[in-house]
Amino acid sequence: MSRLAVRKTYKLWIGGAFVRSESGRHDHAVQADGAQVNIPRASRKDVRDAVAAARKAQGPWAARTAYNRGQILYRAAEALESRTDQLAAVSDRGQVQDAVDVLVHYAGWTDKLHAVLGGVNPVAAPFLSFSVPEPTGVVGVVAPDGPALLGLVAELAPALAAGNTVVAILSEPHPLAGLDLAEVLGVSDIPGGVVNLLSGRRSELAPALGAHRDLNAIVDVSGDSELAAELDRLAAETIKRARHGAAVTGYDTAIADALERLDGLSELKTAWHPIGA
């Protein structure tokens, strides 16, 4: 007698835990085999919970050594590669491999960022002036419709490498890749709350995320010009950085502007120290 397979239950990824949307709502998505599954439809309350979790995790994540953050990102790449066959069912295999390579690339940046962005500043005065990069804080990401997995990882990786925590709104038409990525993060060494993943209606979640006063920056690669204008307005009201860009198309485009992406999510702290009168 044949048996029915146990259907997968998809949940949001908030604070290092798989949770249902507080609203109890759901949307539908189609798996590679044509089966329809329910996915959680996050609410504005879920956005607030995710930002709170990211804020709580931000200090300890930024306090880790740059080398340790690189090790953790590399471990996330290992975990992602080990799930290539499963993720290839909702994303093509090449996209999964590119996402792995992007994580490895930014893992290599973590202990080089200070040397590239920071340094001693030449001043014509009896002072020593030096600058060091620090994380911006909690970063919101509005992922593109596609490529769903690579487009998401390309924005997560530089934010994490720079010491930030992330709240990401997944691709609305193709959320399964992002929800599966949460399972990868769950078995990697990334601490709970450092990455938070929300599925649902972008038109509902993105403005709520952009308006949150505890968010320090937002990266929008949705390609929606009306949403971009709304996020710019909200960023101006709440004094946060906003960056808009096109979705990456492959590994090369994901790393072509690596330093610009890292710099855009870092703050430079400059100190002056007297060395004589």
Q: pLDDT digit string (tens) for 238-274?
A: 999 999 999 999 999 999 999 999 999 999 888 878 8
> Which range (65-69, 77-81, 98-102, 123-127) has the least confidence?
123-127
Domains held by the chain: number:
1
**What is the pLDDT at residue 123?**
79
Q: How confident is the model at residue 73 (pLDDT cuts 50, 70, 90)?
A: very high
Q: Is the residue at 5 inside a domain? A: no
Q: Tokens for 151?
A: 């487009």
Q: Is the residue at 44 inside a domain? A: yes
**What is the pLDDT at residue 256?**
95
Q: Is the residue at 3 inside a domain? A: no
DSSP 197-238: EE-S-HHHHHHHHHH-TT--EEEE-S--HHHHHHHHHHHHHH
Q: Is the residue at 213 inside a domain? A: yes
Higher-confidence position of 208 and 132: 208
**Contacts for 204 with CB less than 8 Å, ≥ 6 apart:** 43, 44
Q: Is the residue at 141 inside a domain? A: yes
Q: Is the residue at 101 inside a domain? A: yes
**Contact criterion met (CB below 8 Å) for 103 and 76:** yes
Task: Provide the CATH number for the domain around residue 108.
Answer: 3.40.605.10
Average pLDDT, the chain: 93
Q: Is the residue at 105 inside a domain? A: yes
- Cα(143)–Cα(150) distance, rounded to whole angstroms? 10
What pTM was computed for the model?
0.93
- Cα(50)–Cα(66) distance, rounded to whole angstroms? 24
Q: Is the residue at 1 inside a domain? A: no
Q: How many C-beta atoms surround the C-beta of residue 189 within 10 A?
A: 14
**Backbone phi and psi for residue 188, each to the nearest 5 degrees, phi listed first:** -95, -175
Higher-confidence position of 220 and 34: 220
Q: How confident is the model at residue 276 (pLDDT cuts 50, 70, 90)?
A: low
The identity of residue 108, as a single letter, is G
By residue range, what is the domain housing residue 29? Answer: 12-274
